[in-house]
Structure 1
Amino acid sequence: MPTEKPIYSHQDDDPHLRDDDLAGKVLRFIRYATFIDTTDMAVLALGEMIVLSGQVHSESDVACAGDAARSVIGVTTVENRLTVKPGQQT
């Protein structure tokens, strides 16, 4: 069954992506590398800067998503605004 958006695309090899293209690349990488549920996560790219926002299931997911975003080629700065969903593990 084909997925709506591919986990990897040839375009992801481009180290000069910006804005929406870079945000999409970061979100795909977080899904692929961390297996974090990104349903309630938003990724915004302003040039080479990434802003992560939304909610995840644990503090370790917050840290892991930030680390994954920082490791993407083309990202220079990550502002991690992710929070833990109420009632979830801290």
Structure 2
Amino acid sequence: MPTEKSIYAHKDDDPHLIDDALADKVLRYIQYAAMIDTREISVMALGGIVVLSGHVAQASDIACAGDAAASVIGVTSVENRLAVMPGAAEADS
């Protein structure tokens, strides 16, 4: 089993993280706080600006992921480009 850090911890609240380290922290926090499957989500960070892209299972996950990302220490703004997975709407009905 890999020892890679997969769960968000409050010790991650370093306000000086940037770029890849911040993107990794945001992705882990979305999974932890919003309980969203992040396998289809990509996070890019440049300074404190974060861009979310990819797919989520349902429309409500888009706002939840954006809100979670915005609440991470070190994030100054979020551009949320998430979309619902193709075919997910048909599966719900």
**1:71-82 pair list within 5 angstroms:** 71-82=71-82
1:25 Cα offset (Å)? 0.6
Partner residue of 2:21? 21
Alpha-carbon distance in structure 2 between the residues aligned to 1:33 and 1:87: 26
Cα distance change of structure 1 residues 57 and 72 upon mapping to structure 2, 3 Å threshold: same
The runs of at least 4 aligned residues of structure 1 exceeding 6 Å deviation read none
Partner residue of 2:37? 37
Aligned residues: 90
DSSP-derived class of the 1:83 partner: strand
Deviations 1:9-33 (A, max 9, x none): 5751211110001001100100100
Alpha-carbon distance in structure 2 between the residues aligned to 1:43 and 1:4: 18
Partner residue of 1:51? 51
Provide the TM-score with structure 2 as the length reference.
Answer: 0.87
Provide the TM-score with structure 1 as the length reference.
Answer: 0.89
Deviations 1:37-87 (A, max 9, x none): 111100000110000000001110001000000000110010000000111
Alpha-carbon distance in structure 2 between the residues aligned to 1:34 and 1:8: 12
DSSP-derived class of the 1:8 partner: coil
CA RMSD, 1 decimal? 1.9
Structure with max Cα Rg: 2
Q: Structure 1 vs Structure 2: percent identity of aligned residues?
A: 67
Partner amino acid, structure 1, of 2:69: A
